[in-house]
Amino acid sequence: MKTRSPYLNYIADYMRMRQYSPRTISTYLKWIASFIHFHDKRHPSSMGDNEVEEYLEHLVLKNNVAPRTQATALNSLSFLYKHIVESKLSLNLNFTRSKKQPKLPVVMTKDEVKILMKHLNKRYYLIAGLMYGSGLRVMEAVQLRVQDIDFDYKCIRIWNGKGNKHRIVTLALGLIPLLRNQIMQVDEYLKLDIENDQYSGVWMPNALAKKYPSANKSLAWQYLFPSYKLSADTDTGEIRRHHFHHTCVRKAVKGAVKASGMEKQITPHTLRHSFATHLLQSGADIRTVQSQLGHSDIKTTQIYTHVLQQGANGVVSPLSNII
């Protein structure tokens, strides 16, 4: 189990009680701990706006973080002061904001997607197929539960995605046989786990764990991509079967790219970029793509229209008329 200070443990317990996702808890704790260490381990209650401004400027001027990273740090500290310290930060904080330009998305062609999928390890083929076929983020994919797959309506339900938002996305029909086979494998794991007296069931949000105490050992709630080994819960020490770790998916994609000989900088997120771009290429409405991706602001989705419109598909170079 990870060793945290009593203060950070209190924050973690507070967030779990209010059903924050484990990833959000981990992210917030990381920035809160960083903030505290930056100020020589002073207690947050003895600090305020000035110290937060100083820390946020440090992230930009010394660490050169991206705007989104700085915004995440600010959100973490805003949470800390609003809910834990109970002294809200000023709405007019004065600090240098990151102007680092976001990276333009790398997009694969449809043929490149085929090549990548061909070179993927069998264990990761389905999860990569879902990321490209449904536009999932890697964490959304690894955290899927069996019941999130709706075979009747050919869709996938995403719970507590980025920004704690829920959404429904399309399901590629070609993946249905593989998904049914995957669920059979999950069921086999579950049968073995239940025979283990130490097994505490799959992790569930606190409120649901109390409301449905036996659901953690039901097939519906098991992770769709379970780890091959049982492990101790980092917070409670209970024996559970976790899901694939996102870094394993990244390594699998990296290995497939290397084996294929492709030279593009491809990561799991490239599959999501490609999903959006190929949807737009096929004539999908941008609002539909926005909904599928779970973007709050359509400006975020429009980056994919720029990829199409600013290239040779949308703007013909004058050189093309003379050669």
pLDDT tens digit string along 3-27? 789 999 999 999 988 878 788 899 9
Q: In terms of pLDDT, which residue wins out, 312 or 112?
A: 112
Catalytic status, residue 269: yes
For residue 310, what pLDDT is reported? 67
Catalytic residue among 39, 100, 162, 167: 162
Catalytic status, residue 295: yes
SS3 call for 213? coil
For residue 10, what pLDDT is reported? 95
For residue 309, what pLDDT is reported? 73
The answer to whether residue 304 scores a pLDDT higher than 90 is no
Catalytic status, residue 162: yes
Catalytic status, residue 68: no
pLDDT tens digit string along 240-279? 999 999 999 999 999 999 999 999 999 999 999 999 999 9
The answer to whether residue 174 scores a pLDDT higher than 60 is yes
CA atoms lying within 13 Å on the CB side of residue 170:
18
Catalytic residue among 119, 145, 273, 295: 295
Structure tokens at 40: 């020589």
The DSSP bridge pattern shows strands 155-158 and 167-170 to be antiparallel
Q: Is the dihedral of CA 25, 28, 32, 37 positive or negative?
A: positive
pLDDT tens digit string along 66-86? 888 999 999 999 999 999 999
The one-letter amino acid code at 123 reads: R
The answer to whether residue 2 scores a pLDDT higher than 70 is no
H-helix or E-strand spanning residue 167 = strand 167-170
Mean per-residue pLDDT, 173-201: 96
User: CA of 242: how far to CAs of 191, 195, 221, in Å?
Assistant: 15, 17, 12
Catalytic status, residue 272: yes
Asked if residues 116 and 256 have their Cβ atoms less than 8 Å apart, the reply is: yes
Question: Per-residue confidence at 312, pLDDT binned at 50, 70, 90?
Answer: low
Q: Which CATH number is associated with domain 6-84?
A: 1.10.150.130
For residue 302, what pLDDT is reported? 87
Catalytic residue among 20, 132, 137, 243: 137
* Comma-separated ranges of CATH 1.10.150.130 domains in the chain: 6-84
Distance between CA atoms of residues 106 and 215, nearest Å: 41
Distance between CA atoms of residues 109 and 115, nearest Å: 10
Q: In terms of pLDDT, which residue wins out, 102 or 94?
A: 94
* Comma-separated ranges of CATH 1.10.443.10 domains in the chain: 103-311
For residue 163, what pLDDT is reported? 72
Supply the mean pLDDT for the chain. Answer: 91
For residue 98, what pLDDT is reported? 86
Catalytic status, residue 250: no
Question: Per-residue confidence at 311, pLDDT binned at 50, 70, 90?
Answer: low
Catalytic residue among 242, 272, 273, 278: 272
For residue 1, what pLDDT is reported? 47
Angle made by CA atoms 114, 119, 124, in degrees to the nearest 5: 95
CATH class of 103-311: mainly alpha
For residue 18, what pLDDT is reported? 83
Mean per-residue pLDDT, 198-222: 90
Mean per-residue pLDDT, 232-242: 89
Helix residue ranges per DSSP H, the chain: 6-17, 22-38, 49-61, 67-79, 110-119, 122-134, 138-142, 176-194, 206-211, 246-260, 268-281, 286-293, 298-309
The DSSP bridge pattern shows strands 167-170 and 149-150 to be unpaired
- Overall pTM > 0.85: no
User: Locate tokens 């050669």: which residue?
Assistant: 323
Question: Per-residue confidence at 207, pLDDT binned at 50, 70, 90?
Answer: confident
